[in-house]
Amino acid sequence: MKQIKRRDFIKIAGATAAVSAFGFPGIAAAAGKKQVVIVGGGTGGATAAKYIRRADPSVEVTLIEPNEHYYTCYLSNEVLGGARSMDSIKFGYDGLRKHGVTVVHDMATGIDAAAKKVTTKGGKTFSYDRCIVAPGISFKDNIAGYDMAAHEIMPHAWKAGPQTALLRKQLEAMPDGGTVLIAPPPNPFRCPPGPYERACQISIYLQANKPKSKVLILDAKDKFSKMGLFTQAFERHHKGTIEWVAAKDTGGGIKSVDAKAGTATTGSGDVHKAAVTNIIPAQQAGAIAITAGLTDESGWCPVDHKTFESTIHKGIHVIGDAAIQAPLPKSGYAANSEAKVTAAAVVDLVNGREPGTPSWVNTCYSIVAPDDGISVAMVYNFVDGKVAKVKGSGGLTSMDSSPAERAREVQYAYSWFNNITNDAFGG
């Protein structure tokens, strides 16, 4: 047990007073136990919580997450397409509780790196030896007029849940012959292939139910993830339904909206009044990372890639979409992989050991038609202090792959979904 200074003892005793039912043994435990507090219960946070407990059950893990359920962003596009229910992307935290994780449904509002404490909206304070922050993303104000009220009229659906349900409802309510406008964000952002898979999924719904309708993608970029494969899919499965327009042809895509009037305006001044408008704003790290001073001028969190410990605040690790992890992408698989590297490092660090050499994988499937799946994969290792792609590994589905192969990739995508969600949230 480490030496307790008088001042620390008062802090610990004070914290313990709140749970005085545990009496004296509570004080002893608080002083001797290794405590990890995880902020955010998405794929990264949940995976980290579980894998710390698997590696060392003597570490107390508290997960702070405001919502009682998490809706995965991955495969939420299939809810829009109609192949999947909201319930199928909904996950609770009982599985983590079975692993001995203390799950607190509250909103973290502050992290004091010097005092090693997390405070919450509910007025609680949690002390930690190591903190893992997995807050996902928040939105930048890059589109004039896209305020909180506008989110409810022109849903982003880039955090799955009620926004996904709202966008689906709007698709169901729109008349045949209408246009669905999708405005993808500039780089870097969560799930780089997501907007284009979304276009395919919405097109699947429209072709089956409202065949005179269109999907118009007004991009903030001139190129995008899996572009060759998506372009092939637009041609093969969505010809006449999906139209993609590069940023250079619109003055940079959608720059402002008037949600009440239902209009969206491009940089070159073209006004679009679509039946359904899906605005996906530019992104940065989740709000708590910004509040806690974990972000740099880019809006994302710089980290030491060996342990994902913040290079700004010691003792705090940032994982998932919020971190600067390139060449790893901002994907669910990468968050899961980063969480395991970080869990192993945190268990080593709280036990006074030097963390081992990390290794990561990313695999990302997109379902572009009911029986057509495409993927990108990569293995990453640790070279000269940074994440690096392993040369010769990874890459995309072949443009020439057969329909049978593409159908297999859909089944693999569903298997991946079942396995990664069970790996993160399962008991």
Partner 1 sequence: MPAKKSLAMLLSSILMLGSTQLMAAPSASMLADTCAGCHGTDGSSMGPAIPNIAGMSAEYFNTVMKEYAEDERYSTIMGRIARGYTKEEIALMADHFAGLKYMSTNQKLDAAKVAAGGDLYEKNCGKCHDEMGALADDDSGILASQWLPYLQYSMEDFQADKRAMPKKMKKKVEKLSAAEIEALLQFFASQK
Residue 390 Cβ, how far from partner 1 at the closest point, in Å? 4
- Is 392 an interacting residue with respect to partner 1 (CB under 8 A)? yes
From residue 168, give the alpha-carbon distance in Å to each of 114, 163, 277: 45, 9, 12
Residue 131 is classified by DSSP as E
Question: What DSSP assignment string belongs to 364-380?
Answer: EEEEEETTEEEEEEEEE
Q: Which of 110, 327, 395, 403 binds partner 1 (CB under 8 A)?
A: 395
Range in contact with partner 1 (rule: CB under 8 A) among 32-40, 107-115, 175-183, 410-418: 410-418
Q: Which of 270, 359, 370, 371 binds partner 1 (CB under 8 A)?
A: 359
**142 alpha-carbon distance from chain centroid:** 20
Q: Which of 337, 351, 367, 387 binds partner 1 (CB under 8 A)?
A: 337
- Is 357 an interacting residue with respect to partner 1 (CB under 8 A)? yes
Torsion-angle region of 116 (φ positive above 0: left; ψ -120 to 50: alpha; else: beta): left
Quick count: other Cβ atoms within 10 Å of Cβ 120? 18
Q: Which residues contact 291 (CB under 8 A, 6 or more apart)?
A: 109, 110, 111
Residue 426 Cβ, how far from partner 1 at the closest point, in Å? 7
Which residue type occupies 291? T
Footprint of partner 1 on residues 257-316 (CB under 8 A)? Answer: none
- Is 403 an interacting residue with respect to partner 1 (CB under 8 A)? no
Q: Which of 67, 85, 351, 393 binds partner 1 (CB under 8 A)?
A: 393
Residue 391 Cβ, how far from partner 1 at the closest point, in Å? 9
Give the pair of three-digit tokens for residue 77.
């596009």
Rg (CA), the chain: 23
- Is 418 an interacting residue with respect to partner 1 (CB under 8 A)? yes
* CA within 13 Å, CB half, 344: 14
Residue 103 Cβ, how far from partner 1 at the closest point, in Å? 19
Residue 87 Cβ, how far from partner 1 at the closest point, in Å? 17
Give the pair of three-digit tokens for residue 393.
């590994």
Footprint of partner 1 on residues 36-55 (CB under 8 A)? Answer: 51
Footprint of partner 1 on residues 177-206 (CB under 8 A)? Answer: none
Size of the site for partner 1 (CB under 8 A): 45
Q: Which residues contact 398 (CB under 8 A, 6 or more apart)?
A: 405
Residue 144 is classified by DSSP as B
Q: Report the interface residues with partner 1, using CB under 8 A.
A: 51, 333, 336-337, 340-341, 344, 356-361, 363, 375, 377-384, 390, 392-395, 397, 401, 404-405, 408-409, 411-412, 414-416, 418-420, 422-423, 426
